[in-house]
Structures are given as C-alpha cells and as structure tokens.
Chains A and B, each alone.
Chain A
Amino acid sequence: MAIRDRLSGNEAVSIAIKQINPDVVAAFPITPSTEIPQFISQFIANGEMTTVFVPVESEHSSMSACVGSEAAGARSMTATSSCGLAYMHEMLYIAASNRLPIVMAVVNRALSGPININNDHSDSMGSRDAGWLQIYAENAQEAYDNFIQCVRIAEHKDVLLPVMACQDGFITSHAVERMELLEAEKVKAFVGEYKPEHYLLNPDEILAVGPYDIPQYYMEHKKAQAVAIEKARQVILEIGKEYGQLTGRSYGMIEEYKMEDAEVAMLIIGSSAGTAKEACDEMRAAGVKAGVIKLRVFRPFPAEDILKAVKNLKALAIMDKTESFSANGGPLGAETKAALYGKCNALTVDYIYGIGGRDVKVEDLKSVYDKLTEMVKTGKAPDSYQYLAIRE
C-alpha cells in the first residue's frame, strides 16, 4: 500500500535518497537544491540512513568525490543547481567518460548573470553535451519517481552512464504537493544492491580508471560512450514500464497529452507542461484541436518518439526555458528541428519562455496556441524565434 503524503520536490527526492540509502552522498549547498543535502544530513544524524556524507568545499569537489567513490565501487549521489552545476562542468565529463553511474538531483535554476536564483533550464541545458542522461520531472511525484528509476537506468550494464534527475527550482522543489511514496523496502528491492562489475576496491582485480587517452583511442572510446547513450532509450522504456507495474505510474521518453487528433501542439519540458495541459484544455473547450508533448528525457534525445507524436500535426511550438544565444532559438528548438528535418511537414515556431523565474501563465501558453492557429491559417511560420510575453 503506497504512502500518501504532502511534500515538496526537494523533500520527495530526499526521501527517495533515504529509501535508496546509497553508499556516499557528497554535496555542497546551493539554492534551490540546498534542502536535499540538508535533509540527508539530518536523516544520517538521526540514524535513519547509513550513507557516508562527504561535506565538500565546492561543487567541483562534490563531483570529484562522487567520481572517486563511484570508481571505488560505492553507489554515489549528489545534488546541485545553477552555478554549482556550472562549477562541476569539468568533472561531469570525467564521470561520463569513465562510465560512472552517478545519480545527481538537479534543481533547475537560471545561470547568472544578471544574478538570479529562480527557475529556468539554463543550468542543465548548459551541460547537455557532457555525456549525462537528463530526465526532467513535471511535479514532485515525478521528481520522486524519476530519481528512483535513474539509479536502475544509470547502473544498467548497457548504459553505465551518470544521470541528472531534474526538477524545476522553487516551482517543483519548494511547492508542497499531494503525492504517493513507495515503502522503503519496495524502493530498496526495486533499485537492488549495487554490484559493479569492475571497481577500484576489488582486491581480486587489478584496475586503473581514467588513464590518459592518446589520439589512437579517444575516438573509439567516445564511440562506445555514444552507443551506450543510444542504448539508454530502451533501458529507460523498460524501467519506466517496470516502475509502472510497481506503482501504476509508467514512464516513457515523452508524454503525449490529447495528441490523438491534435492539429496544433507544443513541446515543453518540466513544470510548465502542467500549465500547458490546462491551456490545452481551455483551447479544446474553445474548439481548437490542441495537444501537448511533454519531453521527459532530453538525453538521449527522443527524436523518434517526437517524430511519431507530431506526424499528423499542422503546427508545432517548441518551448525552450533557456536562451542559447545562437541567434537561432534554444537547444530544444534546434534539436527537435534537426530530428524533424525532411520527415515532418508541420510548421514550427520556437519560443523562449519563463527564463529567470518569469511566471508562465495559462494565458501566455494560450497565446502560443493562438499563434499556431494563425500559422495554420496563413500557412506561414515566423521568420525568427519568439520571446513569450516579453514587454516590448
């Protein structure tokens, strides 16, 4: 019997970590993820967890500590946000290329500057090429569910890559929602005991991790890493299904909302997908065949899943909660259009929305559907990408 509770996203993820009881958590506080290491420290102090907590002096060190402990054979986790994630940028690549299945709670927050502590996706999108899987939550329930699944996905023998379990700062991390938890023993049984095949503290095997790679080998190692992240899609789908059998909540690469007969839709990530569903319902009530595609997994990029979802659309809005200063739209816009090129006839428009914590209202997202309807009517897409609800 599931445990019904009311929790914030940070509390939900902290409880997931308590239930998993990993070997090591090394973390440094940064808003809005600070509560996660704070709660874990309290759980450990209260004797509710046996995890070793490593209080480090920076995020570069927290990720370095996780790299070391994971290579040693310990299930290792951390949490961060914004500039903290930027500060561990160098070590993110080390974790991924050394094929260390670290799980990190990322509580998405804008990168400075101008300095800002509120939500957008500029931090994790800035790390999108580091070789980590990225899974985004819409609400506290998903933040909890995703985090538990991430352990299995990361440690799967076909993957062996680190994962970022992302949730929106404050909107998800601090808002209290009604949700369901699993019993700790069910979580422990689901994730299982960590049994790495190769690890430094194994006295029966000689091993060096992270050696210098000369030009004759680097490309082959990168190819192997690329194949591992390609294989992650199947693993994510299998584990999302298995989690569904346990909880009644199944997960895929994307979530389609009212897409069966949709003519216009938006592709959106994270908490704003909830707002988009409300906007979609209101548009449907007004006679517009609207839909929402929520992107759950950004790495690996769900190109084939998106392609399948949009095949009957007339127009698609691609919503980026970050600027990438390409002068050509955001990262989700760029990658989605690369996936659709030559395979889909829908008109597309890219939007930058909600950055730096800007409130995303239902009427803002309804204006996106209005834009899509206008595009369908005129048969023309805008020449450039758009800023949603900008004062001008």
Chain B
Amino acid sequence: MENKMRNINPTNKWQDLTPGGMIFASGNSEEFRTGDWRTISPKFIEEKCKQCLLCVPVCPDMSIPVVNGKRTDFDFDHCKGCGICAKACPFGAITFGE
C-alpha cells in the first residue's frame, strides 16, 4: 500500500502517501522549508561583519550557517524573518525590513 518515502513532495499521489501521514524518518525537519513563511528578510552586509558570532546563537531557526568559525549568508530556506539577529548585531552588519 505504502511507500515509506524519505522525500515526500507535493507531486506525490494519494496512493503513494503513508497512512495518516506517518513519517518513517528522523531528523527531517530540514526538509520542511519554513522560509516561505517569511514576510521581511534580514540582509547580511559582509564588509561590516567582525565575525563576533553574536547573531548565531540567538537565531531561533538555526538559519545562520557557520563554516570554519565564520558565519556565512542566511539560510533563506528556513529563516522565518523574525529580525532578532539584526537586533543582536552590534556593528550594523545585519539590516532588517529596509
């Protein structure tokens, strides 16, 4: 009856979905792109950034990726646009709603 899909997507037919939407996988919230809930976006201004990383732990959606100890641009697949990072930045390296 069912296909224990790991990559459920909106092209799946009803016959191929699991009963009641059961999910046979863990750690898959990354596949749910909540970024499209965002109405206002933060903007990363790299030249003003001192890499203090104060913005990283305050992000509720873990949408500021850190690579080799340095933050990179936002993960807009998951950033919901709350604006907390812009408030936390002491250097004006994040603008929001402008």
B and A form one assembly? yes
Taking Cβ atoms with an 8 Å cutoff, the residues of A that contact B are 97-99, 157, 160, 198, 205-211, 213, 216-217, 219-221, 223-225, 227-228
A98:B10 contact, CB within 8 angstroms: no
**A220 and B20 within 8 A (CB):** no
Tell me the bound Cα distance from A224 to B47 in angstroms. Answer: 53
Query: Given A99-B19, A160-B19, A209-B20, is A221 in contact with B10 using a C-beta cutoff of 8 Å?
Result: no
* Complex Cα–Cα for A224 and B10 (A): 15
Q: Which residues of A contact B14 (CB under 8 A)?
A: 219-221, 223-224, 227
How far, in whole Å, are A19 and B60 apart by their CA atoms in the complex? Answer: 53
The complex places the Cα of A98 from the Cα of B13 at a distance, in Å, of 18
Contact at A211–B24, with CB atoms within 8 Å? Answer: no
Question: Pick the contact of A210 from B10, B17, B20 — CB < 8 Å?
Answer: B20
Q: Which of B8, B19, B24, B25 contacts A224 (CB 8 A)?
A: B19
B10-47 vs A, Cβ < 8 Å mask (1 yes, 0 no) = 10111101011111111000000000000000000000
Distance between Cα atoms of A205 and B15 in the complex (Å): 22
Task: Point out the residue from B10, B15, B26 that lies within 8 Å of A206, measured CB to CB.
Answer: B26
What are 23 contact pairs spanning A and B, CB under 8 A?
Answer: A98-B19, A99-B19, A99-B20, A198-B22, A198-B24, A205-B24, A207-B24, A208-B22, A208-B23, A208-B26, A209-B20, A209-B22, A210-B20, A211-B23, A216-B10, A217-B12, A217-B17, A219-B14, A220-B12, A220-B14, A221-B21, A224-B17, A224-B19
CB distance from B18 to the nearest CB of A (A): 8
Which residues of A have CB within 8 Å of B23? 207-208, 211
B1 at the interface (CB under 8 A from A): yes
Contacts of B15 in A (CB 8 A): 224
Q: Tell me which residues across on chain B come within 8 A of A210, comparing CB atoms.
A: 20-21
Contact B21 A211 (CB under 8 A): yes
Residues of B contacting A213 in the complex (Cβ-Cβ under 8 angstroms): 21
Q: Using A217-B8, A217-B10 as known contacts, say yes or no to A207 and B17 having CB atoms under 8 A apart.
A: no
- Residue in B closest to A227 when the chains form the complex, CB atoms: B14
Q: Which residues 49-72 in B have Cβ within 8 Å of A in the complex?
A: none
| A223 / chain B contacts, CB cutoff of 8 Å | 14
Residue of A nearest to B15 (CB): A224
Q: How many residues in B have their beta carbons less than 8 Å from beta carbons of A?
A: 16
Knowing A217-B10, A220-B13, A221-B14, say if A98 contacts B20 (CB, 8 Å). yes
Q: Which residues on B sit within 8 Å (CB–CB) of A207?
A: 22-24
Docked Cα-Cα span, A205 to B20, in Å, equals 17
A98 to B19 Cα, complex, angstroms? 7
Residues of B within 8 A of A208 (CB): 22-23, 26
Partner of A97, one of B1, B13, B20, B26: B20
Shortest Cβ gap from B8 to chain A (Å): 7
In the bound assembly, the distance between CA atoms of A98 and B26 in angstroms comes to 18
A-chain residues with CB within 8 Å of residue B13 when the two chains form the complex: 220
Task: Answer whether A206 and B25 are a contact pair too, CB < 8 Å, given A157-B1, A217-B8, A217-B10.
Answer: yes
- A208-B20 Cα distance, complex, nearest whole Å: 10
Residue of A98, A210, A224, A228 with highest tally of chain B CB at under 10 A: A224
User: Closest residue of chain B to A205, judged by CB?
Assistant: B24
Give chain A residues whose Cβ lies under 8 Å from the Cβ of B1. Answer: 157
B28 (CB) vs chain A CBs: closest residue? A208
- Provide the residues of chain A in CB contact with B26, threshold 8 Å: 206, 208
Residues in B neighbouring A221, C-beta threshold 8 A: 14, 17, 20-21
Using CB atoms, name the residue of chain B closest to A215: B10
Contacts of A157 in B (CB 8 A): 1
Interchain nearest-CB distance for B49 vs A (Å):
35
A225 to B8 Cα, complex, angstroms: 18
CB distance from A157 to the nearest CB of B (A): 7
When chains A and B are docked, how far (Å) is the Cα of A302 from the Cα of B82? Answer: 53
Contacts of B12 on A, CB cut-off 8 Å?
217, 220
- Report how far A223 CA is from B21 CA in the complex, Å: 12
- Least CB distance from B54 to A in Å reads 32
A220 vs B17: C-alpha distance when bound (angstroms): 8
Q: Which residues of chain A are near B22, meaning CB under 8 Å?
A: 98, 198, 207-209, 211
